[in-house]
Amino acid sequence: MQTALLLIDVQQSFRARPFWTDAELPAFLERSQALLAGCAARGVPVVRIMHTAGPRDAGNPFALESGLVRPLDGLAPYDAALQVEKHRHSALVGTGLGIWLHQQGIRRLMIAGIRTEQCCEATARHASDEGWEVDFITEATLTFAMPTPAGGMLSTEQIRERTETVLTHRFATLVSVAQALERAA
């Protein structure tokens, strides 16, 4: 089965957000780089996805004018088979990505990137609904604690667990980096 990696929103823009923390960054970068190296060794195409949104001015970290819509510092350079710029949560909305994937004969998608419960999850759900087999690699996603509407706080662990709960057996297969690479072989 032809597989591709969608590396979603691993971009410098997030460092300008007030919720940014480096606490889980080293593990995320290590797992992401292992995934990228494994894809390169197996000839799995990697799609670099960058999020742009909001006003087009230098003060908006998700505007091209900010200079921050670029790969996250600390991530080793890699060859992307395709780079797309998205403006919605799902990487499949308005980007032409779905057309390219079909043209390449891709039937399975590995999903990794930033934020676990937002763009990664939205893309996984959308891809599943469109008929792709989805491998969700939680250990190669990054997120941040979030306040709840009731005034509590969800930890990154709770957010990841919630995302895995809603995706598994419905939209995606949960896999480690090693399992994803084995399934792509």
CATH number (domain holding residue 149): 3.40.50.850
- Amino acid 185: pLDDT: 81
* Residue 31 near residue 139, CB atoms below 8 Å: yes
Could you write out the three-class secondary structure of 1-57? CCEEEEEECCEHHHHHCCCCCCCCHHHHHHHHHHHHHHHHHHCCCEEEEEECCCCCC
Question: Who contacts 16 (Cβ-Cβ below 8 Å, separation ≥6)?
Answer: 61, 66, 68
**Cα 15–chain centre separation:** 16
- Token pair recorded at residue 53: 């949104």
For residue 70, give its domain range: 3-184
pLDDT in tens, 15-73: 999 999 999 999 999 999 999 999 999 999 999 999 999 999 999 999 999 999 999 99
| Total-model pTM | 0.97
pLDDT at 1 over 90: no
- Amino acid 122: pLDDT: 98
Give the total number of structural domains in the chain: 1
Residue 162 backbone phi and psi in degrees, to 5: -60, -45
Cα angle: 62, vertex 67, 71; to 5 degrees? 80
Burial 121-132 (b: 16+ CB within 10 A, else e): bbbbbbbbeeeb
pLDDT in tens, 84-110: 999 999 999 999 999 999 999 999 999
